[in-house]
Amino acid sequence: MKSDANSKNANNTNSVSTTNNKSVKKLLLVVLAMFGFGFALVPLYDVFCDITGLNGKTNTSAATYDASSIDESRTVRVQFITRNAQGVPWKFEPVQNEIEVHPGEMKFVSFYAKNNANNDIVGQAVPSVSPGRAANYFHKIECFCFTHQPLGAGMDVEMSLQFYVDLELPDDIKTLTLSYTLYDITNKSS
């Protein structure tokens, strides 16, 4: 009777271990899928932010000016601020700190940059709009931030930005802040 129980047990063990192997394979697939999902969150996040303007990111390539009219009944204040990432030895500032625009109206502004270092530096300005909700209503037609900004040692430059504010900008937004952070990307661009 004992040996009976044993052989039954052995059979059992065999079939249990095949089911176990199957379950392990399925679970490993889930693990792999979730590892992939972690990385898939990166493009998903970008798409999501693009649609919602969540992180204040603006368009990264030139928009075309297609406002049908100018809404002169509304005035929106646009402020410009700049910031250097830690350790970037440039002077970088807006020429005008703020301007008033009507939605639909095209405007030019410029930014001044000077490389105070003894070596050539490639800069990259990264824009962001606050409140983030307004990011999708701020259209840059031309911006120095679309490309790299190489500056020789001691050189300076005036860089231009051409933009308009969308007619559809939600009514409660009276002020927009456009912030540029300047990074040193010399190592990455070479």
Residues near another protein, by CB under 8 A: 5-6, 9, 16, 19-20, 23-24, 27-28, 30-32, 34-35, 37-39, 41-42, 45, 49, 52, 54-57, 60, 85-86, 124, 126, 130, 132-133, 181, 183-185, 188
User: What's the closest the beta carbon of residue 30 comes to another protein, in angstroms?
Assistant: 6
**129: CB partners within 8 A, 6+ apart:** 53, 56, 58, 135, 138, 176, 177, 178, 179
Tell me the CB-side half-sphere exposure of residue 184, using CA atoms within 13 A. 17
User: What's the closest the beta carbon of residue 74 comes to another protein, in angstroms?
Assistant: 22
Tokens of 18: 């095949």
Rounded CA Rg of the chain = 28
User: What's the closest the beta carbon of residue 80 comes to another protein, in angstroms?
Assistant: 18
Tokens of 81: 């601020």
What is the distance, to the nearest Å, from the Cα of residue 38 to the centroid of all Cα atoms in its chain? 18
Nearer to another protein, 29 or 95 (CB): 29
CA pair distance 183, 139, nearest whole angstrom = 22
User: What's the closest the beta carbon of residue 69 comes to another protein, in angstroms?
Assistant: 28
